[in-house]
Copies of this chain bind each other. A is one copy, B any other.
Amino acid sequence: MELTLSSAQYGLVFNLFSLTVATMAAAGVFLLASRPQVAPKYRTALTVSAVVVFVAAYHYVMILQSWKGAFELAGGSYVMSGQPFNDAYRYADWLITVPLLLVELVAVLGLTRDKARPLFRNLTIAAFAMIALGYPGEIAESASTAWIFWALSMIPFLYILYTVVVKINAAIADQNAEIKSLLTSTRAILLISWWVYPIAYLLPYLGLSGAAGEVGLQIGYSIADITAKALFGVFIYRIARAKSEADGYDLATRAQPAPTTA
Contact = CB atoms under 8 A, between A and B. Distances in A.
B30 A33 contact: no
Contact of A25 (B11, B25, B58, B86): B58
A47 interface: yes
A6 interface: no
How many copies of the polypeptide does the oligomer hold?
A: 2
Interface residues of A, number: 51
A92 B253 contact: no
Interface string A47-91: 110110011001100100000000001000000001110101100
A40 B82 CA distance: 54
A19 B54 contact: no
Interface in A215-253: 251-253
Interface string A8-45: 00010011001101110110011011111101110110
A255 B253 contact: yes
Contacts of A138: none
Contacts of A59: 22
A43 B54 contact: no
A95 interface: yes
B33 A37 contact: no
Contacts of A253: 255
B29 A96 contact: no
B22 A48 contact: no
Nearest to A237: B44
B255 A22 contact: no
Contacts of A50: 29, 33
A58 B252 CA distance: 33
Interface of A: 7, 11, 14-15, 18-19, 21-23, 25-26, 29-30, 32-37, 39-41, 43-44, 47-48, 50-51, 54-55, 58-59, 62, 73, 82-84, 86, 88-89, 92-93, 95-96, 100, 251-256
17 contacts: A11-B86, A14-B86, A15-B89, A15-B92, A22-B59, A22-B92, A25-B54, A25-B55, A25-B58, A26-B55, A30-B48, A32-B33, A33-B47, A34-B44, A36-B40, A36-B43, A41-B252
